[in-house]
Structure 1
């Protein structure tokens, strides 16, 4: 089961937070796991392969100034957690969420937990889906789309030789989705799907800008905004697999450092729908 849950917060004191605060959310995530399930916390921390979760930074506070977010008492904000396996989704529901304290710390600031959103009706970034049902819906579609509109809500970057690639080239983008699907999905897809995307998926349009993510000594340049890709020359079965991965990105994110807040992604409705 795929889960995307939004945790809604209210600031209790004034202060500032780094604009790139994914590490603060990451710290809260693991600190609470240490409280409710230490063995699982250690397992998640030790696993250096694909992470079975993603985290957003704290969102909803407005534009940063000089790399800092100003927080006023009573300010509303939220962050998002997603889980990519049935086991972790179950523990999230049974332990992490029910035992979340009324007050949590993000960096130096205390926040009151005001709500949890688990459905799209409650928050547009919340939803749950069985992976098997997602696969059936998209892979058995006899007429899959030829074009996909994507939104990157937080800075998104990809590994490249010697550094970071701050642009979602089709091979890198679809490759990042494919690696997570192969690790956690119920049915394997062809390993050469990313190579196929590199060769035959086109960028139709984009409205992106780069954003630096500064965390201590590390700076990652990522992109935020909208991208449209198309695959007019692919066969229906190939397009169906890309359609599945594009939908999966809502939970899996795009690119690297998704457990620290990068790569929050959603598939947008087709134009005119």
Structure 2
């Protein structure tokens, strides 16, 4: 683990350069725009990220601030302001990405035929509720050293963009999408991200523990249909309160809280690089 930031959440403020339309589901466009920016800044790194198997070290939000659209289309006016959220789970990736915006001139982000001026990039925790940085080492020790209390047995998360889990049934030859915040899925996936970032091995223990000792105590969620170019995807958004019924396995209770903080940067579920699965712990927003 390192002392420099490993985890970055950036809020990129945008202004539309011209009138036009965009599909209301822009996650695939944002994904392409991100890789194009990375390709200009560091072609070798861009290719390495593109070729990675499994989870990519970044997440992207949909466009915010431009309304919800009608009939699958957003009408955008020149000068209209909005923002896009990007999280980066690697210091080299952050340096390459931010370098693109520091080269001089007025940087732009292109989503298909529409272009947006980048007016500001926010990364400091006090600059925007969804911006910030952290280190894996600090995140680890924060929950190791905090005095244990019953408050740790309740974890409240807000799923901000449509979230779904891609599951495979051994008896069925294809994957299916699950759109409920089941504790073993949420915390099991987060533990998998933690393990890949740190080299620890906690996923199986977390998944087994969450299946027995963690329940959804309250929720207020709804589902949304996303229309990508190659098909549709359903996901859920909203607030979920998880209750840890056990009070004896203190190390695992601490780790679940650590994972809830990690989720601010990693997201959870499928298509997190295309606008899905961004979430944050209550109290962080």
8 Å contact from structure 1 (residues 254, 263) kept in 2: yes
SS at match of 1:191: helix
Residue of structure 1 equivalent to 2:235 = 222
Which of 137-146 and 115-124 deviates more? 137-146
| Residue of structure 2 equivalent to 1:201 | 214
Q: What runs of 5+ residues in structure 2 fail to find an aligned partner?
A: 1-5, 169-174
- Maintained 8 Å contact 1:132/1:186: no
Supply the distance in 2 between the matched residues of 1:127 and 1:237 (Cα, whole angstroms): 26
Which residue pairs with 2:34 in the alignment? 29
| Structure 1 gaps, min length 5 | none
Q: Quote how far apart the aligned CAs of 1:82 are.
A: 0.9
Q: Contact 2:38–2:97 (CA<8 Å) still a contact in 1?
A: no
Is residue 162 of structure 2 the alignment partner of residue 155 of structure 1? Answer: yes
| Alpha-carbon offset, residue 107 of structure 1 | 1.8
Structure 1: how far apart are the matches of 2:188 and 2:94? 24
CA gap of 1:189–1:40, structure 2 versus 1, over 3 A, is: same
- 2:262 is matched with 248
- Kindly report the root-mean-square deviation, in angstroms, between the aligned alpha carbons of the 2 structures: 1.7
Q: Provide the C-alpha distance between the structure 2 equivalents of 1:37 and 1:86, rounded to a whole number of angstroms.
A: 13
Change (3 A) 1:96 1:175: farther
Normalising to structure 2: TM-score of the pair? 0.89
User: Which deviations, in whole Å up to 9, do the C-alpha atoms of 1:228-256 show, x marking residues without a partner?
Assistant: 10102142211100000000000000111
Aligned pair partner of 2:279 in 236, 243, 265: 265
1:190 Cα shift? 5.2
Deviations 1:34-91 (A, max 9, x none): 1111000000000012211111111121222122222111111111111112332343
2:3 paired residue number: none
* SS of 2:69 mapped into structure 1: coil
Instruction: Indicate the SS of the match to 1:192.
Output: helix
Q: Is the 2:37–2:97 Cα contact (8 Å) retained in structure 1?
A: no
Conservation of the 8 A alpha-carbon contact between 1:142 and 1:236: no
Structure 1, 70-79 or 241-250: larger mean CA deviation: 70-79
Work out which of the residue numbers 107, 117, 126 in structure 2 matches 1:121: 126
Range that drifts further, 14-23 or 2-11: 14-23
3-state SS of 2:238 partner: strand
Task: Count residues in correspondence.
Answer: 269
Q: Which residue of 1 aligns with 2:87?
A: 82
Once the two structures are superposed, the pairs formed by residues 1-273 of structure 1 within 5 Å of their partners are 1-93=6-98, 95-99=99-103, 101-143=106-148, 145-161=152-168, 162-185=175-198, 187-189=200-202, 191-234=204-247, 235-269=249-283
Question: How many Å separate the matches in 2 of 1:84 and 1:122?
Answer: 20
**Is contact 2:189-2:203 (8 Å) kept?**
no
State the TM-score, normalized to the length of structure 1. Answer: 0.93
User: Once structures 1 and 2 are overlaid, which stretch shifts more, 252-261 or 49-58?
Assistant: 49-58
